[in-house]
Structure formats: C-alpha cells, structure tokens
Amino acid sequence: MATHESTTGTTPPWPPADTRVGPRFRIAPEVEALGVRGAFAIVDSLDNTVPSAALEPYREALRQRLRAELDGDFIARDPVLAGFRALHHRIGRSNRRFPASAESLVALFLRKGVVPAVNPLVDLYNGVSLETRLSLGAHDLAHVQGAIELRLTTGAEPFVPLGSTETEAVGPGEYAYIDSAGRILCRLEHRQCEATKVTTATQACFYILQGNPATDRGSLERGLERLITLTTTYCGGRVLDSWVVA
C-alpha cells in the first residue's frame, strides 16, 4: 500500500482524480501490484559544483566496505538484486539486456574495483545504490515537464537513453517513470534518459530509490535517510517532499 509522507505542498498538484501518492509524483496501481517499491524525494537549493576530491574520503570508505562484502557469487545470491530479476521476468524483459542499475554497479565493482565518479549528486546516489543494492537515480527538475508518473508504457512514449541522441523503441507493458509530456525519464530501473540527467548546473532534483518485493519498508527508509544525509552534507539542499511506497 502506498504511504505518502509529505513535508510541504508547494508544487502544482495533480488533478484530484489522479492524486495517489503526492503532488509531483504518482505511482499507478498496476505498477504497485507488480511489486515495485520505492522511496522518492524532491530536493532543491542544491549546489552540485563541489570538487570531486571532496567526496574521495566517502568513496574510499565505500571501496573498503565493498571489498569486504562482495565476492564473485554475490550477484547470484543477493535477494534484492534477485528481486529485480524477478520483476523483469514478470513483465517479459530479459535481465541480460536490461539489468537493474544496481546490478550493473555491483558487476562493475567486481570486475574493476571502481566506484564511478561523475559529479557529486550522481556519485552519491551511485554510492548509496552500492551500499543498499536499491536502484537509485535523480532527474533535474528544471528539465522535467509537469509531474512524474510511474506507470506501464503503451509503446508510444519517446525515450532517449542517457548518453545518446537517438530515440530507443520501448514496447508496451514496461514500468517507467514518465513526465507530463509523455517522455520516459527512466526505463524500468535500467537506464535514465539524457534530457533530465543531473549535471553540475542542477539545483533541484527528483530522487528515486527503487526496490522490489524483496525490499522491506525499513530498507527504503534507511536508504532515503542515508541519501539525504550525504546530499545535505556535500551539496546542501532542502527536502520539499518525500514518499515511501512499500
């Protein structure tokens, strides 16, 4: 059951018939029924220009933790990563083609010992994803049109993946984050779009911490608290609204 934990109501509301979770975010009942779980937040007043070196103590501590926790069989036995694979199987999508972002990050670390460094906000949500195995992402609200809905695709929605300029075909029946213009912001928990990526110019973002039927409410709440604490420590910011769907 969706629970809305709102801190403010300062953003334009959904039409009353569509209000299910919050004023800038809606999760469709059919997606919730699949077992998609998550924690979400709108954060503004961010400074994403912090020098990369400022985050190195956090990244190094994370590398040490992961070296102790992860081994070659970790992906196969971790219940949260297995939960994403089960979701993909349920909607008929290949996990080999569409791995959850959390699984991709773990696989990268196992292969190369790498904690990616992109920009502060991206580095922090990738770090929390590695800590929790939840799939995390963020979207620059300056480039999101209207509200965001997590719903099943019809097959007509445009999607330009992160790092690309070409539209990628997305079939019907996938769960995706879609803005009021009908654009896919995030396909499954596999890939974000190019248009709303977080950059050093980002001042407000929509945070996603996505789980699955193997994810309990406590892990979502702890993951969100960890992300917000790291964000405010390194990039400042103010939480305008937050939700937990569990």
Q: Which CATH class is domain 2-245?
A: alpha beta
Distance CA 152, CA 172 (A): 7
Q: pLDDT tens digits, residue range 162-200? A: 999 999 999 999 999 999 999 999 999 999 999 999 999
Distance CA 152, CA 176 (A): 6
Q: Binning pLDDT at 50, 70 and 90, where does residue 24 land?
A: confident
Residue ranges covered by each domain of the chain: 2-245
Q: Binning pLDDT at 50, 70 and 90, where does residue 22 land?
A: low
pLDDT at 103 over 80: yes
- Strands ordered across the beta sheet of 191-192: 25-27, 148-152, 175-179, 184-187, 191-192
Give the pLDDT confidence score for residue 90 in this predicted structure.
96
pLDDT at 10 over 50: no
Give the closest residue to 150 by CA, choosing from 188, 181, 205.
Answer: 188
